[in-house]
A and B are shown apart, each in its own frame.
Chain A
Amino acid sequence: MIIDTTQERMLVVSDLHVGNPYSAATRTLGEFFEYAESGRYNLCINGDGFEILQARFASLAAESAIVLRGIRRLIDSGATVLYVVGNHDIALENFLTAWSGIHITPFLNVTSGSRRIRIEHGHLYDPSFVKSPQLYEWLTRAAGPLLHFYPDVYRLWDHYETLRHRLRPRLSGDRQSSVYHEAAAMLLRRGFDAVVFGHTHHSEDVALTPEGRYLNCGTWVRGGSFVEIDRGQLTLRRWGD
């Protein structure tokens, strides 16, 4: 299992949710993989790449085949593909390793240039998940059928989350605004220069200390954002910009 790795050029994406009826990932990832190949980047999928909890098997099978073929081409071109497990795809740990040469890992400690970067999905810091993982999984599964009848329910949830994310810092004054910032700060204290999470679906790039940054690579469910690592420099980018 790879935990400590040296990666000079790498792209990090998360929360593709391939198989979810609302996910745009299958339509847009092809070009993104071509970009990775032509730029000679390695790739890290930082959790929730495949929608195991909410997708119907037929759509998951059809859409994941397209994505896995793209990943296969990338690996054949010489790239390393690392997959950090998220809360929606824990069941994939054995399957993906055996299937397509993807390196599965719980988290990564990446050295790039002179920087140490932690890449982790981030669900371990989600209070709802930590307090009751079984209930969290059950509710996520229960929401699955609703998505198939009424995909726009995801849009409503997404608006609610965006609003909550924007209002939270205001409601709590100028104090620490999120549990993810606190978790990233804990990691920065033990020798990391940057922390990259996914899970929240909200891309952000925040300087938590004078030398330490927290980035979130967002989601590919709508649009697509990613973190580009190039010899220790991290840039949060939006696909298509």
Chain B
Amino acid sequence: MFKKLIKSSEAHGTELSRTFADAELICREGDSSAEMFVIRRGSVRVFKASARGELELAVLTKGDFFGEMSVLEGLPRDASAQAIGEAEVLVMTAGALLVRLRRDPTFAFELLRRLSGRVRSLNARLVLAAGNGSDSQRPGFGQALLYQSEAKPGGSTARGD
């Protein structure tokens, strides 16, 4: 029995699966929690408070992940996340992330690809903003840029779509 428990714990690291009800907050902007989340079921809205109310940054679905910046940097949350309908997420601390990366190396590739996309997008937008000056002064400009780069590149094909 102990062997089975150890095996199960090794397989899952310290990852926890949690279910959130509709509109329940998964994480709140400014909080100092240090976990990241992978959506297993349902959808999640990522948003940020601004002078003009809530600014929606992204709606994420099954397989998407968020909150990785807090895990990697240990800084307070940059945005809030809320379940749309019932949503199940995998919660990973830094330790669990390391176990995951050891056993699921393609997750590292996906994480780096996401961060690389954000840097590329930010660079492009900063060059644009430098051209017309006003854009970079808008509230939430930086965060909106981060999530605008979430669009998944290419891949859909004509056959049977």
- A residues near B, CB below 8 A? 2-9, 40-42, 78-80, 106-107, 109, 116, 118, 120, 124, 175-176, 182-183, 185-187, 189-192, 231
B51 part of interface (Cβ distance < 8 Å): no
A9 touching B160, Cβ below 8 Å: yes
B77 part of interface (Cβ distance < 8 Å): no
A192 to B100, CA, bound (A): 15
A185 touching B11, Cβ below 8 Å: yes
Q: What is the number of residues of chain B that contact chain A, defined by CB distance less than 8 Å?
A: 35
- B residues near A, CB below 8 A? 3-4, 7, 11-12, 15, 17, 38-41, 62-65, 90, 100, 103-107, 109-110, 113, 152-161
B100 touching A186, Cβ below 8 Å: yes
A186 to B109, CA, bound (A): 15
B109 touching A106, Cβ below 8 Å: yes
Interface of B is mostly: mixed
Which residue of B39, B106, B113 is within 8 Å of A120 (Cβ)? B106
A189 touching B159, Cβ below 8 Å: no
A185 to B113, CA, bound (A): 23
Of all A-B residue pairs in the complex, the 9 with the closest CB atoms, nearest first, are: A5-B155, A8-B160, A191-B63, A9-B160, A4-B152, A6-B156, A80-B157, A190-B38, A2-B155
Closest B residue to A114 using CB positions: B62
